[in-house]
Chain A
Amino acid sequence: MSMTTLPLVFINLGGEMLYILDQRLRAQKTAEDNTQKGIWSEDDRKRVMNDIIATMFNKAFMEELLKPQDVYSHRALRTVLTRLAHASIMRLNQASMDRLYELMVMAFKYQLLLCPRPRDLLLISYNHIDAIREFVRNTPSVLNQVDETHRKIIEVYTPLSDGELQLLRQTLLIFLQDMHVRVSFFLKDKVQNPNGRFVLSTTGPVPHGTEVPGLIRVFSRSGREIKRLEFPTEGNYTSSIRVGSFELFGDRVIRFGTNMYSATPPEETHTSKNYSQKTNSEPNPLAKEELNLLARLMGRMEILNQNNDSEIGFRVSLFSTEQEEKDIVASGRSGDPSFEVINIQATQDTQVNKELARIAGEFTKEVEEPEPPDGPSNKGEDLLTMMDELV
Chain B
Amino acid sequence: MMYHKEKSIQIKSSASALYNNLSVLRIAPRNLTYFSVVHANMVNMVSASWDGLNYSHRQLQSKEPNVTTSSSLIMQAAWCVLPYREILVLTSQKGIQMYESDGSIMVYWHALDTPETPTAQAVFARGIAAVRDKYICVGISSGSVLVFDVPSKGSNITLSEVLEEHKESITDMASECSGSLECIADLVSADDSGNLSVWKSGEDFQLLNKIPGFDMSCSSVKLWKGTVVAGYGTGQIRLYEAITGIIHAEINAHARWIYSLDIAPFSGLVRSAFTCSLPFQIVHMYNECVTDTQICGAKFCDGDGYAFAVTGYDLSEIIRYTQA
Contacts and interface: CB of A to CB of B under 8 A. Distances in A.
A252 to B, nearest CB: 20
Interface string B240-258: 0000001111111111110
B53 interface: no
B93 interface: yes
B288 interface: yes
Interface size class of B (residues with CB under 8 A): 35 or more
Contacts of A213: 235, 252-255
A328 interface: no
Contacts of A199: 292
B249 A219 contact: yes
Nearest to B68: A285
Contacts of B39: 177
A197 B292 contact: yes
Contacts of B282: 216, 218, 229
B294 A200 contact: yes
Interface stretch (A56-64, A233-241, A296-304, A329-337): A233-241
B289 interface: yes
Nearest to A198: B292
B14 A174 contact: no
A331 B119 CA distance: 43
B232 to A, nearest CB: 9
Contacts of B251: 215-217
A285 B41 CA distance: 13
Given A69-B118, A210-B256, A218-B282, A174 B292 contact: no
Nearest to B41: A174
B123 to A, nearest CB: 8
Contacts of B70: 285-286
9 contacts: A162-B192, A162-B216, A166-B233, A193-B292, A197-B314, A211-B252, A212-B255, A218-B248, A231-B284
A177 B70 CA distance: 19
A214 interface: yes
A193 B292 CA distance: 9
B235 A210 contact: yes
Contacts, number: 149
A44 B259 CA distance: 49
B192 A161 contact: yes
B168 A163 contact: yes
Contacts of B75: 1
B137 interface: no
Given A163-B168, A177-B40, A286-B70, A214 B120 contact: no
B248 A219 contact: yes
B84 interface: no
B192 to A, nearest CB: 3
A178 B14 contact: yes
Contact of A173 (B236, B257, B280, B313): B313
B112 to A, nearest CB: 13
A197 B235 CA distance: 24
B255 A174 contact: no
B287 interface: yes
Interface string B59-73: 000000000011001
A163 B169 contact: yes
A215 B236 CA distance: 10
Given A197-B292, A211-B235, A68 B119 contact: yes
Interface string B275-302: 0000010101001110111100000000
B34 to A, nearest CB: 23
B44 to A, nearest CB: 13
B201 to A, nearest CB: 26
Interface in A235-276: 235, 237
A373 interface: no
B223 interface: no
A235 B291 CA distance: 11
Interface in B8-39: 13-14, 16-18, 39
A232 B16 contact: no
Given A3-B119, A177-B314, A216-B282, A161 B249 contact: no
